[in-house]
A and B are shown apart, each in its own frame.
Chain A
Amino acid sequence: MPAKYHIHVRSVPPRFSPLAKSTIIDWAEGCLRCARCVKEQCPVDAYRKRGFDRTQFVDTIDELCRDCYRCVQGCPRELIFKASNPQYSRIGNEYWTPEILAATWYQAETGKIPVSGAGYGGPFAGPGFDSIWTDMSEIVRPTRDGIHGREYISTSVDVGRKPMFLTFDSNGELTWPSPPLLELPLPILLAAPSLGANPGNIREIINHAAHELGTLAIVARERLTAIPEKTASLVMPSYTAGSLDAKDPLLSQVRIIEVLDHPGVLEQLEAVKKRHPELIISVKAPADGRVVDRVAELTAAGAEAIHIYASEEARGLGELQETHLKDLIRRCHLKLVENKLRDTVTLLVSGGIALAEHVAKAIICGADAIIADLPLLLALECRLCRQCAEGGKCPVEIDTLTVRRGAQRMVNLVGAWNNQLLEIMGAMGMREVRRLRGEVGRAMFIEDLEKEIFAPLFANREGELTKREPT
């Protein structure tokens, strides 16, 4: 059995205090000077340890507070309140919610799975990935306990073209060379996000993290100058449409590249493959109205891997702005199944993958692996203020972050995601992430449930009046 893949996480405290969800309003005026003040009874001693954060101009008590409400309930003059912190609720946007940002920061700091405590007060379903419930039927089976289990759960995936059959000559030798295939230890690739102060530094951090994790780092070709030999095998240069030149010396250094889809992409691929037969080429296709047919067309023409990219909010592009990425992945996957070509090609997806559960759910919908981009920036304490995009100063000074520190925070995040993937697969009773691909039987889709269960209950029989209609 191969050595168990393990991600080495290590605590990396944040350089800037993460914004707290709630804040204390302390009205010290009018204090009765009780002999035993509630502030002295704080279980985490927050009132004594509180300080002042000089960079963010905030009282650090909110960072220390564990929301036990002992002081709020105990003060006889009711001089202490807890309120929602508007600075927290304003970070991110509708999709990249403050909760997602805070959970990502926690995982990047600790490398641990975020646990929200007893009880769950939120809704059971929502739009997008929240409309998928994963199978937990084997959650009590200890042998498949994800992280600490005795059975090994493999998270390895293969990137490249897989032949549907083999042919042998009379000597038992393969009649044609098998196509190049790259095995990654986890179904997560790293890519430089479109945002971020000091992009060069962020790229370097991502390269280091990818090397540590043993996965690929996708970097724009024009941003690559020289690649150190030891990391070259895990760098995936991304070429814009038409910029791919078969004579590019970088092609002999790397094992895989991606090129943006354009009308002449297949001819371009052929020309490069003639010169570099061992190179895997992925085609980057936009998740627009043509994506399903284009994926089928590229696969039929022999594409080895296809990267479908959606918007930051996991929505399609162009005319498919209202369609969620999960539905687009399903459509592409099912089209390839229908064409009996699904196993030949690797589908990579990106855009809006914000949480560990999104990795598993994207794979269930039919992706082979996902590409993380924006969460990597969040791992570096980013607050998505987007000031960097306007040339402003980064409030958390990502531009001054050291490569080692940043890379470890990314490794921690991916480590926490990988552990959650193991937990999900363990609960499903699965031992291979390859087998999870397209396994919709291991999940329930709220849209399907609503159609199957509720539609018959509430649908009117023909000609029958409902109770609400006047007689």
Chain B
Amino acid sequence: MSMEVVVFACQQAVPEPEAVKSLWRGGEVRLRVLPEPCSSKMEAFQLLRTLATPVDLVWVIGCEEQLCRYNEGSHRAGGRMAYTKKYLAEIGLEPARVGRSVLIPSDESALAAIVAEINDRVQALGASPLRRAPGAAARRSAK
């Protein structure tokens, strides 16, 4: 079973989600990029349940806080990410399985660095322990 990364990308920060795929050098690791209206669209439950499907890494890309179209959206996304990481640590999973980056919209070099960081992170973490957990096969087939 090959690894899988899901990236939720704010459409202001990443106007062309295809660019993330073209920058991807993850080889066998499957990448899914889902455009969102704002990084604050993603609630903690959504990040956790995405991770539980299971995928190996969930990443949120948003705008710099002062550039957020919704003013507070990027700030709130940061708070949610911190909460999600804390929650994962509490239940004994690696907090590094979720991550967040911000960039100035349409900054291609920053985006390339983020994609490289995502790749490095997933390679370092390896497959999610949830894949080996009881019932994981059933969850995968239900997916």
Please report A residues at the B interface, Cβ cutoff 8 Å.
23, 25-29, 52, 54-55, 57-59, 81, 83-87, 90
Contact = CB atoms under 8 A, between A and B. Distances in A.
B40 A27 contact: yes
Contacts of A90: 17, 35
Given A23-B41, A25-B37, A25-B40, A55 B143 contact: yes
Interface residues of B, number: 27
The 7 closest A-B pairs by CB, nearest first: A83-B37, A86-B35, A86-B11, A52-B49, A57-B50, A54-B143, A25-B41
B129 interface: no
Interface in B40-72: 40-41, 43, 45-46, 49-50, 53, 70, 72
Contacts of B49: 52, 54
A59 B70 CA distance: 20
Interface of B: 6, 8, 11, 17, 32, 34-38, 40-41, 43, 45-46, 49-50, 53, 70, 72-73, 76, 79-80, 139, 142-143
Nearest to A395: B32
13 contacts: A23-B36, A23-B37, A25-B38, A25-B41, A25-B70, A27-B76, A29-B79, A52-B49, A54-B139, A57-B50, A57-B53, A59-B43, A83-B38
A57 B49 CA distance: 8
Contacts of B35: 86-87, 90
A53 B38 CA distance: 19
B36 A86 contact: yes
Contacts of A25: 37-38, 40-41, 70, 73
Given A25-B70, A25-B73, 16 more contacts: A23-B36, A23-B37, A25-B38, A27-B40, A28-B43, A29-B76, A52-B45, A52-B46, A54-B49, A54-B53, A57-B32, A57-B34, A59-B46, A81-B70, A83-B37, A85-B37
Contacts of B43: 26, 28, 59
Nearest to B17: A90
A84 B40 contact: no
A57 B46 contact: yes
A28 B46 CA distance: 13
A29 B44 CA distance: 11
A23 B72 CA distance: 18
Nearest to A22: B37
A283 B30 CA distance: 45
B16 to A, nearest CB: 10
Contacts of B32: 57
A350 to B, nearest CB: 30
A112 B26 CA distance: 45
Contacts of B38: 25, 83
B91 to A, nearest CB: 17
A277 B96 CA distance: 74
A90 B18 CA distance: 11
Contacts of A23: 36-37, 41
A52 B70 CA distance: 24
A54 B141 CA distance: 11
A23 B34 CA distance: 13
Nearest to B58: A57
Nearest to A25: B41
A103 to B, nearest CB: 22
Nearest to B30: A393
B133 to A, nearest CB: 15
Nearest to A26: B43
Contacts of A87: 34-36
A381 to B, nearest CB: 16
Contacts of A27: 40, 72-73, 76
A23 B73 CA distance: 15
A112 B123 CA distance: 49
A402 B31 CA distance: 28
B126 to A, nearest CB: 21
A83 B36 CA distance: 10
B46 A84 contact: no
Contacts of A26: 43
Nearest to B15: A86
Contacts of B46: 52, 57, 59
Q: Which of A25, A58, A87 has its CB near the most chain B CB atoms (within 10 A)?
A: A25
Contacts of B76: 27, 29
Contacts of A52: 45-46, 49
A82 to B, nearest CB: 9
A131 B17 CA distance: 34
Contacts of B70: 25, 81
A232 to B, nearest CB: 38
B61 to A, nearest CB: 13
Nearest to A52: B49
Contacts of A84: 37
Nearest to B48: A52
A28 B50 CA distance: 19
A443 to B, nearest CB: 40
Contacts of B73: 25, 27
Q: Which of A57, A83, A87 has its CB near the most chain B CB atoms (within 10 A)?
A: A57
A27 to B, nearest CB: 6
B53 to A, nearest CB: 5
A175 B73 CA distance: 83
Contacts of A55: 143
A111 B96 CA distance: 47
Q: Which of B11, B17, B80, B139 has its CB near the most chain A CB atoms (within 10 A)?
A: B11
